[in-house]
């Protein structure tokens, strides 16, 4: 008896990101009302386009068009981007419960990395970890500025 290949693939667990799993465990104990970590931006080009990006994101998030965001995690990503830029999203600052971590969902990795950076102080991450999270979030923000403008 040889099992079908599809049943083997479906039954095989995927690799789990240990940092994301630890963060998911810590999520329940984090005080979401604490001041959040924000990106420091020194790049002249990013500083120049920041205000336009904020305006664009606020306009997108304020839209009543239900097709603007195909899934809720896209809206959450836009909200989190405004928060790390030091702004308040139109619906206010609130954080969604962490979802599944799946290797095929790049958005989940983005959301986890953003929230890990936002709450890096209460989680007492070391300076190296905070710097890595800051770089990742700057990269995501930089890419979003290219998409918006």
Residues 6+ apart with CB under 8 A from 128: none
Tokens of 136: 């990742």
Most confident of 16-20, 56-60, 72-76, 101-105: 56-60
Enter the pTM of the model.
0.78
Mean pLDDT estimate for the chain: 81
The mean pLDDT of 90-115, rounded to a whole number, is 81
Q: What's the pLDDT band for 1 if we cut at 50, 70, 90?
A: very low
In the structure encoding, which two tokens stand for residue 103, read together? 């290797």
The lowest-confidence range among 52-56, 63-67, 103-107, 115-119 is 103-107
C-alpha distances (whole Å) from 106 to each of 63, 64, 126, 138, 148 are 25, 26, 25, 16, 19
Confidence class of residue 101 from pLDDT cuts 50, 70 and 90?
low
């Amino acid at each position: 008896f040889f099992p079908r290949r599809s049943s083997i693939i479906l039954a095989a667990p995927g690799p789990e990101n240990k940092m994301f799993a630890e963060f998911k465990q810590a999520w329940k104990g984090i005080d979401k009302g604490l001041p959040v970590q924000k990106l420091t931006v020194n790049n002249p080009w990013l500083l120049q386009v920041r205000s336009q990006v904020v305006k664009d994101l606020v306009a997108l998030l304020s839209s009543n068009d239900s097709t603007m965001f195909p899934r809720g995690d896209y809206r959450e990503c836009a909200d989190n981007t405004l928060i790390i830029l030091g702004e308040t999203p139109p619906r206010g600052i609130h954080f969604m419960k962490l979802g599944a971590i799946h290797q095929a969902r790049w958005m989940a990795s983005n959301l986890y990395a953003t929230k890990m950076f936002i709450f890096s102080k209460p989680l007492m991450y070391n300076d190296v970890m905070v710097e890595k999270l800051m770089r990742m979030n700057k990269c995501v923000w930089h890419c979003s500025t290219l998409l918006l403008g």
